[in-house]
Structure formats: structure tokens, C-alpha cells
Structure 1
Amino acid sequence: MVASGQLPFVFIHGAGGTKAKYRGIETYLEGVPVRIIELPGHGGNKAPHCTTIEQQAAWMLEQLGEEEVIVVGHSMGGLVGIELAARTSCVKGLVLNASHYEMPVHPKILAELEAGTFPDMLFTASYGKGASEELIEEERAQLSAVPMDVTHVDFAACSAYKGEGTFRSLAVPILTLYGAEDRLLPKGAKEAAATANQHVRSVVIEGASHYIMLEQPEAFAKALLSFRTNILATV
């Protein structure tokens, strides 16, 4: 039995992101322990960046050690979470935060990133219609927090990863969180995930697109806390 004061949330950001993507989330988590990870080459983590999802998961495994956790992975971070949950029994729950087991990226997007430009169309599509101007300005400023070559490698790693088999094999509780306005995930992702793994529970959050934790942090945290409570009742 895991003690209620334990089982922290471990947050993993997405492609081209940093820990700032989860800024302020502790405010909503009622004192539950939180670790927000920056992957190598991102933000303040100056270690050489990884080039595949599998490499990122191996690095994450070293950071966790034997600690029992709930992993919350945003977008690319969800792919890392899938691989991580398959490699260690210390992951007691997995949250795919605006993520899926496969996330192909259009070649035109990869080409723009490789050329050193973050596509404006991609940026605009990442946020819902109700996102505040302040949030959009903050997020535009965040684009420079990660070198564009690292961002390109991240998106290429997402596109190359084929995780359906690994996802199907997972035997831990899984929460899939979707923004009702998300236009970046593969069509039918919610239904595909639920069909692929019997341990999936899905929640759709209104008023959010691809960055649920920034657009609707209270609803996001509420879903996480409910998921954690259910896990604590069974382990």
C-alpha cells in the first residue's frame, strides 16, 4: 500500500517545451508532491539532448530510481511516459495529457523546424479560442527557451515513434486527457486509446485545446487528483 502522502506527480513537458509548461500547477494540487522534469537539452537542463523517445525514457528512468510515481506526460511527454511505464513497475499510473501512442508530424512542419522557424500555424492551432492574450504572449516568449534544432529533433522523434504495441501491453491505470478544442492529435485518438487498452479512462476538458494545463489548470488538476485518489484506493 502506497502512503497517501507519497505517490507524487512527475510531469514531463512536450516537444520544444520546458518545465514552464506546467507553471503554477502546484497551486491546484492540494499539497500533493510534484516533480516537474526538464528533458536533456531543454530549459535549464544542459545535458546533450536525446534523439528518440526511447532515449528520453531511458534518461527518465535514471532520474526516478525506485520512487513510485504517477507520470503525467504532455504531448511528446506522453510518448516518453508510455515507454517509461513499460520499463518500470514504479510507474503506478500514467496520464496522457493531450497525447496519444502515436503522434505523426506533417513533413512541412518538420521542414520549417529544420530550417529554424517554428510554424505560426502550429503555434496558433495549439491554443483554444478562449486563451487569453496574456497566455499567448507568454507562450510566444517561451519559443526561444529551447534551441530550434532541439525542437526539430523532438518533433522528428514524435513522428518516428510507433508506440501502439507498447501502449497495448501496459497494465497500469491510464488517464487520457483531451482538450475539447484540440486540433493536433490524430483523428479518433480518444476512441483508439480506449480500444487499445482496457485500463484507460478518458476525460475531455471543455475550453481547452492542446495545452490543457495552461488553459484550464483547475479542471486539469481536478482530473489528476481524482485519478490519484482512485489509484491510492487500489494499490
Structure 2
Amino acid sequence: MYKRGANASTSRGIAAEGATIAIWRRSAIIAIRTMPYANVNSKTLFFTLSPSQSSTASPLTVLFVHGLGSSSSFFQPLVPSLTSQGYQCLTVDTHGSGLSPYTGHGNTTASIAADAIALLDSQGITENVVVVGHSMGGIVASLLAAEDSASKQQRFKAVVLIGPVNPNPGAAEVFGKRISIVEKDGMEPLAASIPTTATGSKSTPLVHAFIRSLLLGISPAGYISLCQAIAESAVPAYESIKVPLLVIAGAEDKSAPMDGIIHIMENYASTKKELRTLEGVGHWHVLEAFSEVQEIIGGFLKELQSLK
């Protein structure tokens, strides 16, 4: 147990034991639950499982994998609606992002996928999963689905890609420039530019502020590692993936251009494939067009259930 100021004459102290923190205010004691972390693959990952316990009637678990310079908070606006419809939602900060500390051991898209599998296993979630990936997370989502198909485990029932990045030879140059900026000046230059340059015409100052906060919340070393992960990523085996696919694109998305999205769509082996394009939206789809994204994903999941 860790204690601070536990002496009776001290007006305030903090103690932690297990997953509970107790705060003393003279005679009052308030118990506060600590935030959820999972220790997987020698990393400590922050995650949120909503609701914390799935009922036997819960039809699907939705696993969310965020993109570069983001965190699980990007998906949080979607969670209340999906849980109200009976779905379980699992969000996670990837290694080196958000509240998941960077260990210095580096990232690859394959290692992020392995961390996601380990997190699912740690929560006892072995079936009926729909993976939702944004941007870099789209690569990870496709890797997860391809590996699942190869192993014939059938853990994943469908894939949702939001502004997915398609690995390509030009990525090394693009992300090499970002790495140089961050190595020299930290995250501030990107936080000052990306919120406005990577969003669409419907975006608002509030959205820009949210994105700025996400970017400033990641460690420079963690960001650099994820840039390298994208630049060096292999192309997922799209042709091996047969589960239903939903792709959500922004009509004004410069980071995930339509030609790359069409390539992904055409190469997936799924018999059920759907592309939805959001007008006036750039690369931060959930923040820019929350209601539309929520409705599209909710409808897709409902239709998925009807296919049984």
C-alpha cells in the first residue's frame, strides 16, 4: 500500500491498494476506482470496456482501434448509443498513445494487432467481435481480420474501416517528414496545423480543439514510433478477408484518399461490402460528423445481426 499524509494530524492523504484509491478529508473517506489498465505483451494499455460486464444477450463486442496522433477518446462519442442498443464496446489507447505509456520498444502495425488480440483474450472475448479501425487503425483492423481468416478462429464477424490508410511506397517519405518535425520541435507544430488542414469544410473550432488536445496528449517518441509503423507496414492480405465490410470515407479526406479506399474495397474478398461517403468531412470523421457515423455503424451492426 502506498500512503501519503496518513498521520492523524494531516488533513488530507492518499492511499492505493489494488484498484482503489482512498482519499482522506479529515473524518471523511472517499473510495475512488482507479482507471482500467491491462498488462499485455510487456506493455501497459489503457482501455475501457462498456458495459464492464457483458450479458449473455449481448450480440456483439465492438473493438475500436484508433489512428495516429489519436486515442480511444476519438471513439467515445459512439459508445453510449451502441451500448444502449445492446452492444459491448472495447476501446484502447495503443502503445505510446493517450494514457498508454511508451516503453521505448517501438511499434509495428503487426504488434498493435497482437496487442489487440491479447487485450481481447485478457477480457475473455473470443468470439462475435466487430473491429472498427480509423486511419492507421484501419490497417490494424484488416490485419486482424486477415490473420483471423488464416487461423480459421472466426473471432471477427465484420470489419468497419473509417478513413483507412492503405500502405504504399510513398508513405516512407510522408511520415519521414513528420518524424523530422517532431524530433526537432515536438508535437506543437503538428497540433497547430493538423486540426485545420486534415478536417473538412463542415468542421468547427470545437472539433479543431479536440484534435489539438489528442495530438498534444501523445508523447513525441510514441508518435514517431507509430509514424514508423505506418511507413513500414505490410499491405494486409485483403483478398483473404471474407467477413462483411463497411468503409466510411470523408469526401474531403486528404490523408486517406479515395483511390486507396477503392483499392481496399476491390481487394477485400467479402461478398457484402458497403462504402459510405460523408460530404464536407475530412480525416477525423467521428469528430466531424458524429451523428452520421453513429447512424451508419448502428445500421450496419443491426443488419449484420439479421444475417444470422
TM-score normalised according to structure 1 size = 0.89
5+ long unaligned stretches in structure 1: none
Shift of 1:55: 0.7
User: 1:24 maps to which residue?
Assistant: 77
Deviation at 1:142, TM superposition (A): 2.2
SS at match of 1:195: helix
More helix by share: 1
Which residue in the other structure is 1:33 paired with?
88
CA contact (8 A) 2:161 2:248 kept: yes
Q: Does 1:112 align with 2:195?
A: no
| Correspondence 1:94 to 2:147 | no
Greater Rg, structure 1 or structure 2?
Answer: 2
Contact 2:102–2:219 under 8 Å retained in 1? no
Task: Provide, for residues 122-144 of structure 1, a one-character-per-residue CA deviation record: whole Å limited to 9, x for no partner.
Answer: 44322112211122122212222
| Structure 2 residue aligned with 1:70 | 130
Partner of 1:46: 101
1:196-216 per-residue CA deviation (whole Å, 9 max, x = no partner) reads 124232111123111111111
Q: Could you say which residue in structure 2 is the equivalent of 1:124?
A: 196
Secondary structure of residue in 2 paired with 1:188: helix
CA distance in 2, matches of 1:129, 1:175: 24
Superposed, 1:168-183 pairs within 5 Å as 168-183=239-254
Query: By how many angstroms is 1:180 displaced?
Result: 1.2
1:234 counterpart = 2:287 = no
Deviates more, 1:94-103 or 1:10-19: 94-103
Aligned CA-pair RMSD: 2.1
Within a 5 Å distance, the mapping from 1:150-169 to structure 2 comes to: 150-164=222-236, 166-169=237-240
Which stretch shows the higher mean deviation, 40-49 or 175-184? Answer: 40-49
Q: Which moved more, 1:6-15 or 1:43-52?
A: 43-52
Q: Is the CA contact 1:16–1:150 (under 8 Å) kept in the aligned structure 2?
A: no
Equivalent position of 1:184 in the other structure? 255
SS for the counterpart of 2:74 is helix
Q: What secondary structure, in the 3-state scheme, does the structure 1 residue paired with 2:58 have?
A: coil
Considering Cα pairs closer than 8 Å and 6+ residues apart, tell me whether 1 or 2 has the greater RCO: 1
| 1:9 pairs with 2:58 | no
> Equivalents in 1 of 2:259, 2:66: separation in Å?
23
The answer as to 2:143 corresponding to 1:79 is: no
Cα distance in 2 between the residues matched to 1:47 and 1:142: 16
Unaligned runs of 5+ in 2: 1-55, 149-153
Q: What CA distance in whole angstroms lies between the structure 2 residues aligned with 1:139 and 1:47?
A: 20
Deviation at 1:47, TM superposition (A): 6.2
Q: Which residue of 2 aligns with 1:214?
A: 287
Q: 3-state DSSP class of the match of 2:131?
A: strand
Q: Take 1:8 and 1:206, find their aligned partners in 2: how far apart are those partners?
A: 29
Shift of 1:99: 0.5
Confirm or deny: 8 A CA contact 2:139 2:165 kept in the other structure.
yes
The structure in which a higher percent of residues are strand is 2
| Distance change (3 Å), C-alpha of 1:123 and 1:114 | farther
